[in-house]
Amino acid sequence: MIFDWISALYNIEGLIAWGGLAIICLIVFAETGLFFGFFLPGDSLLITAGILSAAGVLNVWYLLLFVSICAIAGDQTGYLIGHKMGRLLFRKEDSLIFHPEHIAKAKAFYDKHGPKTIVLARFVPIIRTFAPPVAGAAKMEYRKFVSYNVIGGILWVFSTVLGGYFLGRLIPNLEKYLYLIIGIVIVLSFLPIIIEIYKHRKKK
């Protein structure tokens, strides 16, 4: 049952054919704003949407506008959840993800690298889901968060969608090779995480 759901979620072309712009907006909001959204497709979804918009399946201007709004709204939601519930989430000493020590580390990290973190986190799967609530829990200055959330959201959406769009315009019938492109994008998306895990293990 679970594998059927995962298979359906990562059948990106089928998802877009079924739900169009609405399902893209919903997935982007959930991935960036809700904890359970960390497993949803992000980069691969938007690049595929860009390729399909080049083929005339979607309107690229509507895609850029509405998906950017949902990406920004998602991060805002994540920040507010972290700000309101962060102390409750991070109070269990035996929690692997929500350990209280992570709040102190996150606050120090965001105080030093906050703006850069919010922008760069957009381009890393899983990290983009948890960065906003951790920023909220660490009490990152709200005005600063909003400013860089807008910048990061627009950069992420425009770079992925337009990247796919221009690829689709440059290479005829590129939509026929979507599964190969999606596989490459997923591998490249997770590469920074794999490198960081390798570096961490090497240090140990």
Could you tell me if residue 3 is inside a domain?
A: no
| Residue span of the structural domain in which 100 resides | 12-203
195 found inside a domain: yes
70 located within any domain: yes
d(CA 48, CA 184): 12
Domain-located, residue 29: yes
Structural domains of the chain, count:
1
Count CB neighbours of 36 within 10 A: 9
Establish if 5 belongs to a structural domain.
no
**Tell me, what's the pLDDT at 166?**
92
| 42 assigned to some structural domain | yes
pLDDT at 133: 85
What pLDDT was estimated at residue 2? 47
Question: Is 109 part of a structural domain of the chain?
Answer: yes
Predicted confidence (pLDDT) per residue in 70-103, tens digit:
999 999 999 998 888 866 666 665 555 555 555 5
